[in-house]
Structure 1
Amino acid sequence: MRNWILPEYISDVLPMESRQLETMRRAMLDLYERYGYEQVEPPLVEYVESLLTQDDSALDLKTFKLVDELTGRQMGLRADITPQVARIDAHILNRQGVTRLSYAGSVVTTRPDGLLANRQPRQIGAEIYGCAAIGADVEAIELMLASLTLAGVKEVRLEIGHIGLFNAMADAAGWQGEIRQLAFNALQQKDIAALQQLSQDLPAPLRDGLLALPLAYGGHEVLERTRAVLPVLPAVTEALDVLNELEAALITRGIEVRFDLAELPGSYYHTGLVFNAYATGFVSAVARGGRYDRVGEKFGRSRPATGFSLDLRSLTAIPFPSHRAAVLAPQGDDAALLSAIRALRADGETVIVDLGVDVTEVHINRSLQLISGQWQVVPLQ
């Protein structure tokens, strides 16, 4: 049958997937709370200027626009929750110390992030504001990996990069506007031929450094090898030092680290470290995070910030336990029957009152029956 009801890359969430989504959401938010994160719930729609940070053309293209009939101003459906959380930290909470915030909610995008992606992801994440130390990044990565463990993701691979390496060399090259964007895209795609063409007129140290980034993938040796070929710029040295420091902190926690120095984020608000989690069976990253230290600048407070997010809907392909077997109870007004149903539900049982249930369509394996004057649970015949 032709799927004429829903737009492309938009789909319903049916009972089994909905149960899985809600189970993961609850477990992750409970985990974040144990780390000290406070949950916030920004609105689905805002004035479009508050949904975008700086001049983020990538996020702008992904944002649906509409007109507010009350004011005539342009509004947008959020395509990313991070700018909203930054607004809450900078403009509403206005705390002086470190603030930990978590969130979970739907976003809507004008285009999918991939062939298998949905345009209405269920985004969940955690963010730390007000801490520039590497400890905040370590905590964000730990929490991201713990979230994936809760969801049942196996064989997770952590890859770390630093956008400061590209930015430092692009600044030194004087690249702005279109050429900078072309180089950024070429590096994202590891398109060495395009980078060679764009950098052909640059001084040799800059050209060699840019061409080294797409090949800089692997373990600790990548940092040493890359440090030897990148141009000597203060921002480059600082970025490599941060990567070394983060690696050492993660290793002490038993977390294996891989580097991909051509790993660049899809949104422009990131400013430093970027980290992605990949897993067997998934075509793209299952979780993404990084530094976005100036994300609150537009809202009046430029605070250090780091965090991560993931799409719960992308994880529903993981095998999930079937519905808990339910108890079928007869319909009636008998006080003892009603009391028995309430007691079972209070004990965590699922009790379905028979209003015409087809036991082949729902998972029922027991029934509540009156035996010798008492309501008892017995196997379903």
Structure 2
Amino acid sequence: MRNWILPEYISDVLPSEARQIEALRRKVLDLFACYGYEQVAPPLIEYVESLFTQDDSALDLKTFKLVDELTGRQMGLRADITPQVARIDAHILNRQGVTRLCYAGSVVNTRPDGVLSTREPRQIGAEIYGCAGVAADVEAVELMFAALALAGLSEPRLDIGHIGLFDALADAANLQGNQRAEVFAAIQQKDVATIQETTAGIPADLQAGLLLLPTFYGSSEVLAHARAKLPQLPRVLAALDSLELLTLALQLRGIVAHFDLSELRSSYYHTGLVFAAYAKGFTNAVARGGRYDSVGEKFGRSRPATGFSMDLREFSALPFPSLRAGILAPSGDDAALRLAIHELRDAGEIVMIDLGVVASEVSIDRMLSLQDGRWQLVPIVKV
């Protein structure tokens, strides 16, 4: 067996893809900075206790684990950066007001999210801590759309759900343990028969509400239908109120929302609003986000939070401006030559010293040539 073969769903990132990923990373981080987000860089590896915001079996399964040779404690390779950012906000920064944080880095998953997915996504995201209002959710969605525009996606589709609707009905019905998990999974899969079978014996109005959740799919009219048909529980009404406010605010920004009130899968720790962006030509969502209130509770400080993330590697196949052709310069210690190279690089040109360059293997179209006592640019003619 060849020992250099990579594991399944793990791949090298070659020059053109790496350049595209890095260029987009810089653009998106600059965009976040314009909105007031401060960048943080959590470690790739931590003790497992710090990698989860709660007892989260799904995220636990996605996390590679190993033993720390220094302490004997169990460590994990992060499968998601948001829990780490929540720790930074709650435990290290400990600010009183609203905090905007962003990040970019690799995560590693024990299993891919889909057939065409990688187990080493390049996650980039932005999060707002300390604001429970809809205005924070509006900013998160607006910023997500701006980031997707930088990636070349001009018309992504926005799908919105709200986990609070399920939680309100399940809590009122006292669904717990395996029963709650089975109903939760069945609603995501729009499996009405399983929902009906699993909820047999709960109050009829609550069962009817759970059976209705998979049917609420479409435009903003869905919210009116849900308000008319779901049990009038305070938490149900509050969730629908927040979705209506969000819809109106997004419309003012030219963003049209579609709704799927059985969409509960945005991530493992979300507590309310969940949203995802989809685009033509992509199998999976190109970005996901939502609200995860009380996310810092495990780290000693409960704070409302909202945000989104996306995988930079998802966009590496999109059309991207070609790398500008470079300049080939001879190797040598001539002061005038070194000065000419320095000035060209300061002007943004790519200058490669000729240490054995094969012109057909790199992108160059000019070279520095000594003519009439001066170093001048001359075109390279490729045969």
TM-score range, shorter chain: over 0.9
Counterpart-to-counterpart distance in 2, 1:196 and 1:351: 68
Structure 1 residues 113 and 205, CA, compared in 2 at 3 Å: closer, same or farther?
same
Write the distance in 2 (CA, Å) between the matches of 1:170 and 1:44: 36
Map of 1:219 onto structure 2: 219
Q: Any idea what SS the aligned residue of 2:127 has?
A: strand
Unmatched runs of 5 consecutive residues or more in structure 1: none
> What is the distance in 2 between the residues matched to 1:248 and 1:98?
23
Report the counterpart of residue 98 of structure 2 in structure 1: 98
Aligned 8 A contact 1:155 1:279 in 2:
yes
Q: Deviations over 1:110-164 (max 9, x none)?
A: 1100001100100000000011111111111111110000011242011111100
Match of 1:297 in 2: 297
| Equivalent position of 2:79 in the other structure | 79
- Tell me the distance in 1 between the aligned counterparts of 2:25 and 2:3: 29
Structure 2 match to 1:188: 188
**Equivalent runs, 1:191-202 vs 2, <5 Å:** 191-202=191-202
Deviation at 1:338, TM superposition (A): 1.0
Contact kept? 2:9, 2:119, Cα under 8 Å: yes
- Residue by residue over 1:354-380, the C-alpha shift from the partner in whole angstroms, topping out at 9 and shown as x without a partner, is 111111111111111122222111221
Distance 2:8 2:360 in 1: 32
Structure-1 separation of matches of 2:3 and 2:318: 25
1:324 equivalent in structure 2: 324
Q: Which moved more, 1:81-90 or 1:254-263?
A: 254-263
Corresponding pairs, count? 381
Which residue of 1 is the match for residue 59 of structure 2?
59
Is the 8 Å Cα contact of residues 154 and 280 (structure 1) preserved in structure 2?
no
CA distance in 2, matches of 1:108, 1:322: 30
CA distance in 1, matches of 2:4, 2:340: 46
Shift of 1:200: 3.4
Q: Is the 8 A contact 1:153 1:318 kept in 2?
A: no
Structure-2 residue corresponding to 1:357? 357
| Contact residue 37 and residue 102 of structure 1 kept, 8 A | yes
CA distance in 2, matches of 1:2, 1:280: 38
Which stretch shifts more, 50-59 or 317-326? 317-326
Partner Cα distance (1:219, 1:346) in 2:
52
What is the CA-CA distance between 1:232 and the residue it aligns to?
Answer: 1.4
Query: Paired residue for 1:146?
Result: 146
- What SS does the aligned partner of 1:328 have? strand
8 Å CA contact 1:154–1:279 kept in 2: the answer is: no
Correspondence for 1:346: 346
- State the distance in 2 between where 1:351 and 1:239 align: 57
TM-superposed CA distance for 1:3, in Å, is: 8.6
Aligned counterparts, 1:131-142, within 5 A: 131-142=131-142
TM (normalized to structure 1)? 0.97
Q: Please tell me the root mean square deviation across aligned C-alpha atoms, in Å.
A: 1.4
Match of residue 24 from structure 1: 24
The alpha-carbon deviation at position 322 of structure 1 amounts to: 2.3
Matching residue of 1:285: 285
**2:360 is paired with a residue of what secondary structure?**
coil
Which consecutive residues of structure 2, in runs of 5 or more, have no partner in the other structure? none
Distance 1:213 1:3 in 2: 50
- State the partner residue of 1:116: 116
For 2:248 and 2:154, locate their aligned partners in 1 and report how far apart those are by CA, in whole Å. 24
In 2 relative to 1, CA 3–67 (structure 1 residues): closer, same or farther, beyond 3 Å?
Answer: closer
Contact 1:58-1:266 within 8 A present in 2 as well:
no
- 1:101 partner letter: L
Write the letter of the residue equivalent to 2:292: Y
Deviations 1:78-132 (A, max 9, x none): 0000000000000000100100000000000111000011001000000000111
Identity %: 70
CA deviations over 1:169-222 (Å, ceiling 9, x no partner)? 111121111111111111222222322222233333222211221121111111
After superposition, where does 1:203-282 map in structure 2 within 5 Å? 203-282=203-282
Match of 2:197, as an amino acid?
Answer: Q
Counterpart CA distance in 2 for 1:131 and 1:172 is 27
Q: Is the 8 A contact 1:101 1:128 kept in 2?
A: yes
Partner of 2:35: 35
**Rounded Cα–Cα distance in structure 1 between residues aligned with 2:376 and 2:266:** 58
> Which letter does structure 2 place at the counterpart of 1:275?
F
- 1:269 is aligned with what amino acid? Y
- Deviation (angstroms), 1:43: 0.5
Q: Give yes or no for contact 1:272–1:291 (8 Å, CA) kept in 2.
A: yes
* Structure 2 equivalent of residue 377 of structure 1: 377
Q: Aligned pair 1:160/2:160, yes or no?
A: yes
2:139 is paired with a residue whose SS is: helix
**TM-superposed deviation, 1:266:** 4.8
Q: Larger deviation: 180-189 or 278-287?
A: 180-189
**1:46 and 2:33 equivalent?**
no
1:176 matched to 2:180? The reply is: no
| Partner SS state of residue 360, structure 1 | helix
Amino acid corresponding to residue 94 of structure 1 in structure 2: N
| Larger deviation, residues 322-331 vs 337-346 | 322-331
- How many Å separate the matches in 1 of 2:263 and 2:318? 26
Distance of 1:6 and 1:284 partners within structure 2: 24
Report deviation, 1:4.
5.4
